[in-house]
Amino acid sequence: MTGVFERIGKRVVAFHKIVGEMVILLGQTIWFFREAPRNIQSIFTQMAIIGYETLPMASVMAFFVGMVLALQTGAELQKYGTQNIIGGIVGLSLVRELGPVMTSFLVAGRAGSAMAAEIGVMKVYEEIDALKTLDINPVRYLAMPRLIACLICVPALVVYADFVGILGGALLSHFHPKLFLSYSTYYDSLKTALKLREIGAGLLKATVFGGIIALVSCYTGFQTSGGARGIAETTTRAVVLSFMLILVADYFLTRMLL
């Protein structure tokens, strides 16, 4: 029994250590925001990787999520003759929850893992030590551009995904033989249900999730050790931890905003 408590105690200490180190890394990264104008090229490069290269996958994901939402809700609402509110349900579901969460998962799985692996490789092969030797701060050079890029690109991707998902729901609702909902009816329902408050809440979530992805990916990358196996473990850890923190943050943000 004593051994069990010892293991629990060690895990609690390790958890507090990780949280403290991540908070310190976040503070250092925000401090170096003042150096952003001198690192515009690096920020644009990361924005291209995080945002532009994610667009094709985000398009497919959002389009079919919107279609599935319209199909599932439409089949149920048709039983009660209320299928004219499909637009509002699809729009609210995407803007409030599915858009920010699913898009953030996509960015974490694609760009976040790449960031963690890249920094991990630099750590294993002592390139980060070389930066310090050249009097280049690794946080300013590696973490700051990635955090800024995530804070900009993830909300932008969420807005794009919301639009594509709503379009997918509209097409499904219009061409489905049992629903055949006109575009004007779909749009009226969407306009009635979707307010600026919901849009703002979705963008706030997207910004927080983007910060989580960048922070977790950079932190796990900086903690990499053990060669190729360590890099693989770092990549997996970054994605899993990002997913978990996104879901935890989503709950608390939703509770706060409601």
Which of 81 and 104 is assigned the larger pLDDT?
Answer: 104
Rounded to whole angstroms, the Cα distance separating 214 from 108 reads 8
Rounded to whole angstroms, the Cα distance separating 201 from 250 reads 11
DSSP readout, 201-242? HHHHHHHHHHHHHHHHHHHHHHT--SHHHHHHHHHHHHHHHH
How confident is the model at residue 250, as a pLDDT?
Answer: 96
Alpha carbons within 13 A on the beta-carbon side of 241: 23
Which of 78 and 135 is assigned the larger pLDDT?
Answer: 135
Nearest to 224 by CA among 133, 108, 143, 118: 118
The H or E element containing residue 45 is helix 40-50
How confident is the model at residue 147, as a pLDDT?
Answer: 96
Length, in residues, of the chain: 258
Rounded to whole angstroms, the Cα distance separating 155 from 114 reads 19
Query: What SS3 state is found at 18?
Result: helix
Mean of pLDDT values over 192-203: 91
Assess whether pLDDT exceeds 80 at residue 8.
no
How confident is the model at residue 168, as a pLDDT?
Answer: 95
| Buried b or exposed e, range 139-172, using 16+ CB within 10 angstroms | bbbbbbbbbbbbbbbbbbbbbbbbebbbebbbbb
Confidence of residue 17 (pLDDT cuts 50, 70, 90): confident
Check: CB of residue 119 under 8 Å from CB of residue 215.
no
Summary mean pLDDT of the chain: 90
Query: Which stretch of 44-53, 88-97, 177-186, 193-202 has the lowest confidence by average pLDDT?
Result: 177-186
How confident is the model at residue 9, as a pLDDT?
Answer: 62
Assess whether pLDDT exceeds 70 at residue 177.
yes
Give the contacts of 91 (CB within 8 A, at least 6 positions apart): 162, 166, 169, 190, 193, 194
Mean of pLDDT values over 157-186: 92
How confident is the model at residue 5, as a pLDDT?
Answer: 55
DSSP readout, 131-197? HHHTT--HIIIIIHHHHHHHHHHHHHHHHHHHHHHHHHHHHHHHH-TTT---HHHHHHHHHHH--HH
Confidence of residue 256 (pLDDT cuts 50, 70, 90): very high
Query: Which stretch of 59-63, 76-80, 148-152, 168-172 has the lowest confidence by average pLDDT?
Result: 76-80
| pTM for this predicted structure | 0.92
- Residue 122, token pair as written in the block: 């630099």
Confidence of residue 83 (pLDDT cuts 50, 70, 90): confident
